[in-house]
Amino acid sequence: MGSFIYKRSLQSLLSLIGLIVLVFFLARITGSPVDLYLPQGASQEIRNQFNEQFGFNDPLYIQFGRFIWGLVHLDMGQSLQFSRPATEIVLQAFPTTLMLAAVTMPLVIVIAVVTGSLAAFKPGGIFDRLASFISLLGASTPNFWVAIVGVLVFAVTLRVLPTSGTGTPLHWVLPVAVLALRPAGVLVQVVRTSMLTALSSAYIKTARAKGVGSRAIVFVHALRNGLLPVITVASDQTAGIVNGAVIVETVFGFPGIGKLMIDSVMQRDFAVIQAAVLVTALAVFIINILVDITYAIVDPRIRYN
């Protein structure tokens, strides 16, 4: 198990290093921050002073070396917008995104397991067809479109839900619902397929011959052996929720790391962009490693291979 964890951690570290390099150079393609933070009529001398103060006059390889040196010392630089350490700003916003994912994913798993299991129990039936249609529709509908329609219907027209913010539980309804739509649709299909395979197994036929009830067959015997593929897909969807929060938080004005990232890109706040991407990537890698370990514990063949 120790060797397995080491290999998975090393793979994640290499991916993280590649992401750090990519984000650093892509952020600078957006242009110079001096055009946003100084008046249009600012003299060239003032512009040079601004660039010199924040190190933008230096060649890219020197800026990159300074960034790596700061990263080694856990210093991601100062935010141009807030004049505060970028890491501090990102760590203040990230718990909101984690809370959003922590509320959404258990709801997704419960809906997917119950719906997918019941659909697989009678394949081809009315419930199976309805569940398949709705889940495929949810999995294929863009989040941003559902979010905009949700605001238009429930916030503007019906006025039963707020448009933005996090002040009350009602503020969380639309973001959680929109964020849960796609992963729930995907997981329902995975659970259904996995359960169909499990329900056609010989041990299920034996259980039925012994008179075991339908509920026990579906939710005890079949579900226990059908969860392995679900664990893998659920981990990918959890990481997707963290990444997908960028769109949802922006539409609903949710003060998480996704909205902070978009605002920082618009303001060319390189330090915050880099810190936000790094923290998000670390969270995704940790989630993937934990799920890999869980999968290896459930199925020992994974770690041996």
Vertex 107: Cα angle to 247 and 130 (nearest 5): 90
pTM of the predicted protein model: 0.77
DSSP state at residue 253: T
In whole angstroms, give the CA distance from residue 303 to residue 305: 5
Question: Buried (b) or exposed (e) across 181-212, using 16+ Cβ within 10 A?
Answer: bbbbbbbbbbbbebbbebbeeeebeebeeeee
Residue 133 confidence (pLDDT)? 93
Vertex 292: Cα angle to 195 and 135 (nearest 5): 35
Residue 1 confidence (pLDDT)? 58
Short-list 247, 135, 235, 232, CA closest to 184: 135
For residue 10, give every residue at least 6 positions away whose Cβ sits within 8 Å of its Cβ, in sequence order, or none.
Answer: none
Short-list 210, 190, 179, 42, CA closest to 115: 190
Tell the burial category of 2 from Cβ atoms under 10 Å away from its Cβ (0-12, 13-18, 19+): exposed
86-304 architecture in CATH? Orthogonal Bundle (1.10)
Residue 205 confidence (pLDDT)? 67
Short-list 179, 20, 170, CA closest to 98: 179
Tell the burial category of 36 from Cβ atoms under 10 Å away from its Cβ (0-12, 13-18, 19+): middle
Residue 302 confidence (pLDDT)? 54
26 contacts 263 by C-beta, under 8 angstroms: no
Q: What is the DSSP string of 276-301?
A: HHHHHHHHHHHHHHHHHHHHHHH-HH
Tell the burial category of 214 from Cβ atoms under 10 Å away from its Cβ (0-12, 13-18, 19+): exposed
Residue 248 confidence (pLDDT)? 84
Residue 299 confidence (pLDDT)? 61
- Per-10-residue mean pLDDT for the chain, 305 residues long? 69 80 84 79 81 83 88 86 89 88 89 87 87 90 88 89 82 90 90 81 69 67 70 76 78 86 87 88 80 68 53
235 contacts 219 by C-beta, under 8 angstroms: no
| Domain span(s) for CATH 1.10.3720.10 in the chain | 86-304
262 contacts 11 by C-beta, under 8 angstroms: no
